């Protein structure tokens, strides 16, 4: 699959689901969102990039505290949804831009802060996206990446990627914590903080948000039922299909 093919899959998938992500309680709140707001909100005069903005929750949270937020996403419908909500909330300092993370249309050193939340596992080339965010970040600026993490064990990693892809054809890969650290270092980011947590995913809303077809929902339930005891314990799989995943927040800066 070429880069343009994958980006088309992402757009097609999320153009039909923008309202669900605006309404998602998983995306609208969380300790990682509080961390992002606490760190970036210290920069009242900053221009901030929200890469992979989705339903816009990072942009909405940061807008009152900074000078401008650029909400960037591949999906035009996501951006239309964000723009409508921005207007409803009276957040005049949020602007939208359509772009992939790997090819950002911004000059070097454009932003005081860059943020990506629950987006990077859809990027075709995670390393390229991280390098681009480093390029557009000002020296001394802060970058915050929040995403689901794959477990270090191959058995658990493979199981998670399988259920993710069955749910969402635009899924590429949840990276492991060690991979994130390596990629950030390779892009010349200096990592300041890593925070991990567990996120509980309620099954019905998890598959409902992506309008996952019944056949794929049943395939996921089959994978859950046939998983080893070790796998079911790690992900804390419940009878209704709900389960828990690892998350990570990486705070890094661009060296002066």
Q: What DSSP string runs through 46-68?
A: -EEEEET-TTSHHHHHHGGGSSE
On the question of pLDDT at 99 being above 80, the answer is yes
Length of the chain: 256
Give pLDDT tens digits for 120-152: 999 999 999 999 999 999 999 999 999 999 999
- Please compute the mean of the pLDDT values over residues 221-250 and round it to a whole number: 98
Residue 223's pLDDT is 98
For the cut 80, the answer to whether the pLDDT of residue 188 exceeds it is yes
Asked whether the predicted pLDDT for residue 27 surpasses 90, the reply is no
Question: What residues contact 214, with CB distance under 8 A and at least 6 apart?
Answer: none
Q: What is the pLDDT of residue 43?
A: 75
Give the pTM.
0.91
Residue 241 scores a pLDDT above 60: yes
pLDDT band at 156 (very low <50, low <70, confident <90, very high): very high
16 neighbors 211 (Cβ within 8 angstroms) = yes
Whole-number pLDDT of residue 45? 87
Q: Tell me what the mean pLDDT of segment 99-114 comes to.
A: 97
Q: Which of 53, 102, 99 is nearest to 78 (CA)?
A: 53
**What strand order describes the sheet that includes 243-254?**
94-98, 68-73, 47-51, 111-117, 137-149, 243-254, 189-201
Using CA atoms, how far apart are residues 243 and 231, in angstroms rounded to an integer?
11
CA end-to-end span of the chain: 38
Task: State the pLDDT at residue 41.
Answer: 80
Q: What is the mean pLDDT of residues 109-125?
A: 96
The whole-chain average pLDDT of the chain stands at: 91
Name 12's Cβ contacts closer than 8 Å, sequence gap at least 6. none
pLDDT of residue 4: 63
Whether the per-residue pLDDT at 42 is higher than 80: the answer is no
95 to each of 7, 14, 62, 82, 83, how far by Cα in Å? Answer: 22, 19, 13, 9, 8
Which pLDDT does position 19 carry in this prediction? 58
Strand ranges inside the chain, DSSP E: 47-51, 68-73, 94-98, 111-117, 137-149, 189-201, 243-254
* Calpha distance 107→84 (Å, rounded): 27
């Amino acid at each position: 699959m070429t880069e343009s093919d994958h980006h088309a899959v992402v757009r097609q998938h999320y153009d039909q689901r923008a309202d669900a992500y605006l309404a998602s309680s998983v995306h609208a709140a969380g300790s990682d969102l509080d961390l992002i707001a606490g760190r970036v909100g210290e920069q009242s005069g900053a221009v901030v990039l929200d890469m992979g903005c989705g339903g816009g929750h990072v942009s909405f949270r940061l807008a009152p505290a900074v000078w401008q937020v650029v909400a960037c996403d591949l999906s035009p419908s996501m951006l239309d949804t964000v723009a409508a909500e921005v207007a409803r909330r009276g957040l005049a300092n949020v602007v939208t831009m359509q772009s992939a993370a790997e090819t950002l249309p911004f000059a070097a050193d454009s932003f005081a802060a860059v943020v990506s939340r629950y987006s990077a596992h859809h990027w075709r080339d995670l390393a390229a996206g991280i390098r681009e965010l480093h390029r557009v970040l000002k020296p001394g600026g802060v970058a915050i990446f929040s995403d689901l993490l794959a477990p270090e064990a191959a058995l658990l990693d493979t199981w998670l990627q399988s259920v993710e892809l069955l749910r969402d054809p635009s899924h590429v890969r949840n990276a492991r914590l060690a991979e994130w650290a390596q990629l950030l270092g390779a892009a010349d980011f200096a990592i300041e903080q890593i925070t991990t947590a567990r996120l509980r995913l309620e099954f019905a809303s998890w598959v409902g948000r992506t309008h996952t077809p019944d056949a794929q929902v049943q395939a996921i339930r089959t994978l859950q039922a046939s998983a080893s005891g070790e796998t079911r314990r790690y992900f804390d799989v419940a009878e209704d299909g709900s389960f828990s995943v690892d998350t990570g927040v990486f705070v890094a800066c661009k060296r002066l």
